[in-house]
Structure 1
Amino acid sequence: NCFPLMSSPATIRELIQEADAVIGAVLVHGAKAPKLVTRNMLAAMKPGTVLVDVAIDQGGSFETSRPTTHADPIYEENGIVHYCVSNMPGAVPLTSTVALTNATLPYAVEIADKGWQKAARSNLGIREGLNVVDGKVTYAGVAETFNIPFFDPGKLF
């Protein structure tokens, strides 16, 4: 059986002991992924359990995660198999390219039609996608992660 659960430290600690596979897919926009599975939790897991860390590009959500490649995708630590391939969509390049194009093309067309400033003023999604404007960090998560000043993008143009 496969079922998603709301993440909490207590839920993870309890259910990780029974799991055959655990998928970590945490995304905190503009920041590193939190470490939800600790090294101590690994000791309670069944040998042969598989951890898949989709958040590896953001630092990983398992304390024992380290980036791997498509050519050498797995490693074992304390009897637990880790799959932590950076850029997992690269395993299916055509499919991932089509998906990314479908998600981003409407924004690209709007920016091309209006210019980036007008598009950002009129489209919250574009405005929230800005990271830097005129050398100023406009994405709060990035500013916080790197401990640099944040600037509200709506006030910069």
Structure 2
Amino acid sequence: MTLIAQGFAPVLRRAGALLAVLAVAAPLAACSDEGRLVLHTSSGEHAFNVEVVDTPETRAKGLMFVQDLADDAGMLFDFKQEREVSFWMRNTFIPLDMIFVGADGVVKTIHVNARPQDPTSIPSNVPVQFVLEIPGGRSVELGLKPGDIMEHERVSAPLD
């Protein structure tokens, strides 16, 4: 083996090990996609790319200071158990629809077009585990109503 080949041998071994790890990890990543969420309405299925927030710190920040949000984007707040929750729009610069969802994925209530920078409390009025925030007015465009279904891997009950 030449000196050049001997110098590359450790690099090739590490590259082979990395490829082996990726070959095992890639199928696992394909099985889990917390960033995908589907709303099932009378007008059809509507997919969203969401960021999941589930700690007090990440839930407190939410979409504060965000300047725009794509039509198919949102944020999913997971409170990990059902309870009444309340939101406000302080330091939020874009209008949002807040969709309050039970642990089973059933939409309970919807607050349409929450006003940017408004400190008024927006309560769920019922116990929920999830709150989905999407661009203001989108829930109306999709025909979303209480009783519709949110599909996401964190929802405990499968669709019927």
TM-score normalised by structure 2 residue count: 0.31
**Rg larger for:** 2
Q: Higher strand proportion, which one?
A: 2
Higher relative contact order (CA 8 A, sep 6+): 2
TM-score normalised by structure 1 residue count: 0.32
